[in-house]
Amino acid sequence: MFHWLEKNPFLFAVGVFIVIAFAGLIEIVPNFAEASRPVIGTKPYSTLELAGRQVYIKNSCNACHSQLIRPFKSETDRYGHYSLSGEYAYDRPFLWGSKRTGPDLHRVGNYRTTEWHENHMKDPKSIVPTTIMPGYPWMFTTNADIDTAYAEQLTVAQFFGVPYNKPVPMKDGSTTVVKMGKSIKEARELALEEAKKVAADMKDQDVKDAVARGEIPEIVALIAYLNSLK
Amino acid sequence: MENRPLEYDYTVAKMFMLTTIILGIVGMAIGVFIAFELAFPGLNTVFGEGLAEYTNFSRLRPLHTDAVAFGFTVSGIFATWFYVGQRVLKVSMAESKFLMFIGKLQFWLYVIGVAAVVVSLFMGYTTSKEYAEFEWPIDIAIVVVWVLWGVSIFGLIGIRREKSLYISIWYYIATFLGVAMLYLFNNMEVPTMLATSPAGESAIGDWMHSVSMYAGTNDALVQWWYGHNAVAFVFTVPIIAMIYYFLPKESGQAIYSYKLSLLSFWGLMFVYLWAGGHHLLFSTVPDWMQTMGSIFSVILILPSWGSAINMLLTMKGEWQQVAASPLIKFMVLASTFYMFSTLEGPIQAIKSVNAIAHFTDWIVGHVHDGTLGWVGFMIIAALYHMAPRVFKRELYSKSLMAAQFWIQTLGIVLYFTSMWIAGITQGMMWRAHDEFGNLAYSFIDTVDVLHPYYALRGTGGLLYLAGFFIFAYNIYKTWTSNKEVDAERLNASPMGA
Give 10-residue mean pLDDT values along chain A (230 residues).
84 92 80 73 96 97 97 96 94 96 97 96 96 96 97 95 94 94 96 97 96 97 97
- Decide if A16 touches B, using CB distance below 8 A: yes
Cross-chain Cβ contact B192/A71 below 8 Å: no
Residue A176 lies in a domain: yes
- Decide if A150 touches B, using CB distance below 8 A: yes
Which uninterrupted H or E stretch holds B100? helix B97-123
How much is the pLDDT for B1? 46
B125 forms bridges with which residues in the sheet? none
Residue A18 lies in a domain: no
Contacts of A33 in chain B (CB under 8 A): none
Q: How far apart are CA A53 and CA A61, in angstroms?
A: 10
Environment class of B486 (CB within 10 Å of its CB; exposed 0-12, middle 13-18, buried 19+): exposed
Mutate to test the interface with B, among A27, A145, A148 (most CBs of B within 10 A): A27
Residue A14 lies in a domain: no
Q: How far apart are CA B222 and CA B315, in angstroms?
A: 40
Segments forming the whole domain that contains residue A112: 47-228
How many residues are recorded in chain A? 230
**Residue type for position A65:** H
User: Which residue of B45, B52, B130 is in closest CB contact with A98?
Assistant: B130
Q: How far apart are CA B391 and CA B32, in angstroms?
A: 31
Degrees to nearest 5, angle at CA B366 with B362 and B372: 135
* Nearest of B212, B226, B35, B8 to residue B127 by alpha carbon: B212
Report the CATH number at residue A184: 1.10.760.10
Say how far residue B384 (Cα) sits from the centre of its chain.
Answer: 18
Contacts of B282 in chain A (CB under 8 A): 70-72
CA A45 to each of CA A22, A91, A110, A153, A183: distance values in angstroms, whole numbers, following the listed order: 36, 9, 17, 8, 17
Cross-chain Cβ contact B192/A61 below 8 Å: no
Residues of chain B with pLDDT under 70: 1-4
Residue A83 lies in a domain: yes
Neighbouring residues of B471: CB distance < 8 A, sequence distance ≥ 6? B21, B380, B383, B384, B401, B404
User: Which residue of A20, A89, A148 is in closest CB contact with B192?
Assistant: A148
| Number of structural domains chain A divides into | 1
Q: What does the pLDDT look like over A83-118, one tens digit per residue? A: 999 999 999 999 999 999 999 999 999 999 999 999
Residue A171 lies in a domain: yes
User: Which residue of A60, A101, A186 is in closest CB contact with B38?
Assistant: A101
CA B16 to each of CA B72, B207, B375, B388: distance values in angstroms, whole numbers, following the listed order: 10, 32, 16, 16
Residue A23 lies in a domain: no
User: Which residue of B57, B211, B266 is in closest CB contact with A155?
Assistant: B211
- Decide if A7 touches B, using CB distance below 8 A: yes
Residue A220 lies in a domain: yes
User: Which residue of B197, B272, B444 is in closest CB contact with A128?
Assistant: B444
Residue of A nearest to B285 (CA): A85
How much is the pLDDT for B272? 92
How much is the pLDDT for B487? 83
pTM: 0.95
How much is the pLDDT for A37? 81
How much is the pLDDT for B337? 97
Cα of A42 to nearest chain B Cα, Å = 12
Degrees to nearest 5, angle at CA B173 with A4 and B13: 125
Residue A11 lies in a domain: no
Please report the residues numbered 190 through 209 in chain A whose beta carbons come closer than 8 angstroms to any beta carbon of chain B. none
Contacts of A88 in chain B (CB under 8 A): 215-217, 219-220, 284
- Domains, chain B, with CATH or none: 1-168 (1.20.210.10)
How much is the pLDDT for B3? 63
CA A114 to each of CA A133, A195, A204, B394, B444: distance values in angstroms, whole numbers, following the listed order: 18, 12, 12, 65, 21
**b/e code B259-270 from CB counts within 10 Å (16+ = b):** ebbbbbbbbbbb
Instruction: Tell me the ipTM for this assembly.
Output: 0.94
